[in-house]
Chain A
Amino acid sequence: MNPELQGRVFAPTAPYLVGREKVREFARAVFATSPLSFDVQAAQAAGYSDVVAPPTFAVVIQEATLAQLLAEPDAGIDFTRVVHGDQRFTYTRPIVAGDELTATLRVASVKSLGGHSMVTAESTIVDAAGDHVVTAISTLVVRGDE
């Protein structure tokens, strides 16, 4: 992997409009049972404008930034050798249906360990007003040649 990737900042992704049915679909897929993710009235009674996305929903928006990284011509990342090492989400507020979100990727670090490389990708996700919603951080391990 190209060590000069460290510190690189990518162009913001196209705005992602969070749909109510998408939140419900994702919530079902992660076995969520919270009424706030399914029932608009329950979400509004809790103070939200619409249904609340589960804590890992941000991966849907983050995904576009990881695709940018893997497609970067000089990155030297072989997609077939990538393993997800760890993942973190740090929220300022939860994602709710109706949010229009944009993600900006920064390569926080590139390290070599044995024959493997590790890249930590930090995607900052903001709403239409530009206010921070969540930062998604992934460490990808790229296995070296055997």
Chain B
Amino acid sequence: MTTQFFSELTVGEIVTERSFALTRDSLVRYAGASGDFNPIHYSDAVAQSVGLPGVLAHGMLTMGLAVQPVVDWIGDAGFVSDYQVRFTRPVAVDAAVGAVLTVVAKVGAVDDASARIDLTVTFNGATVLGKAQVRVSPTPATAADSPTV
């Protein structure tokens, strides 16, 4: 990745977008991979007992998948130097039809060496993340490549 890469970006430009079809299987898979076995992410009975409409996606699953279009666009997860989100609305995953999340990634700010990519993540016509921002910049590939101090 070169500095020219960043200088050619325009604030407001959509750099990538992608939709994700979540099912209950997706949540079970994420529970196992992440170690988050909170039953509100797989049991309707438990979710309803705490006042929820039903099983919800893990917030961290939504955060984890929402950055993937940006990773594919820049080609290297190591170029993501900072990533933050606010969880503003739950994603209820229906047992029969699942849930579709749509991610649109726009340039929020840019300078010679980095860019801030702002994500809009939508479910059922409403955004589910706030202040979802990804800082991308070319970083050293490994610690061993960093200048020694």
16 more A-B residue pairs beyond the given contacts A47-B142, A91-B81, A93-B142, with a C-beta to C-beta distance below 8 A: A25-B33, A26-B34, A29-B30, A30-B33, A33-B68, A34-B75, A49-B142, A53-B77, A54-B67, A54-B68, A60-B34, A84-B87, A86-B84, A88-B82, A91-B139, A92-B139
| B110 close to A (CB within 8 Å) | no
Q: How large is the interface on B (under 10, 10 to 19, 20 to 34, 35 or more residues)?
A: 35 or more
Would you call A52 and B82 a contact (CB within 8 A)? no
Cα(A29)–Cα(B139), bound, Å: 25
Cα(A75)–Cα(B134), bound, Å: 32
Would you call A96 and B142 a contact (CB within 8 A)? yes
Kindly name the residue among B65, B85, B140, B142 whose own CB sees the greatest number of chain A CB atoms within 10 A.
Answer: B142
The digit string for A31-71, where 1 denotes a CB below 8 A from any CB of B, is 11110110000000011110011111001100100000000
Would you call A29 and B33 a contact (CB within 8 A)? yes
| A131 close to B (CB within 8 Å) | yes
Contacts of A96 in B (CB 8 A): 142
Would you call B35 and A28 a contact (CB within 8 A)? no
Q: What are 23 A-to-B residue pairs whose CB atoms are below 8 Å?
A: A22-B33, A25-B33, A26-B33, A26-B34, A29-B30, A30-B65, A31-B64, A31-B68, A46-B78, A47-B145, A48-B78, A48-B141, A52-B76, A54-B71, A54-B77, A55-B80, A60-B35, A86-B84, A86-B87, A87-B60, A93-B78, A94-B139, A133-B143
| A113 close to B (CB within 8 Å) | no
Would you call A93 and B32 a contact (CB within 8 A)? no
Contact partner of A84 (CB less than 8 A), chosen from B20, B59, B77, B84, is: B59
| B96 close to A (CB within 8 Å) | no
Cα(A94)–Cα(B138), bound, Å: 11
Contact partner of A30 (CB less than 8 A), chosen from B61, B143, B146, is: B61
| A90 close to B (CB within 8 Å) | yes
Binding site for B on A (CB under 8 A): 22, 25-26, 28-34, 36-37, 46-49, 52-56, 59-60, 63, 80, 83-94, 96, 127, 129, 131, 133
Nearest chain-B residue to A49 (Cβ)? B142
**What 6 A-B pairs come out closest when comparing CB atoms?**
A47-B141, A30-B64, A29-B33, A88-B84, A94-B78, A56-B64
| B63 close to A (CB within 8 Å) | yes
Known pairs A29-B34, A30-B68, A31-B68; A89 contacts B143 (CB<8 A): no
Nearest chain-B residue to A51 (Cβ)? B77
Contact partner of B143 (CB less than 8 A), chosen from A31, A90, A129, is: A129
A139 CB to closest chain B CB (Å) equals 9
Known pairs A53-B77, A54-B67, A60-B34; A89 contacts B59 (CB<8 A): no
Nearest chain-A residue to B77 (Cβ)? A52
A132 CB to closest chain B CB (Å) equals 9
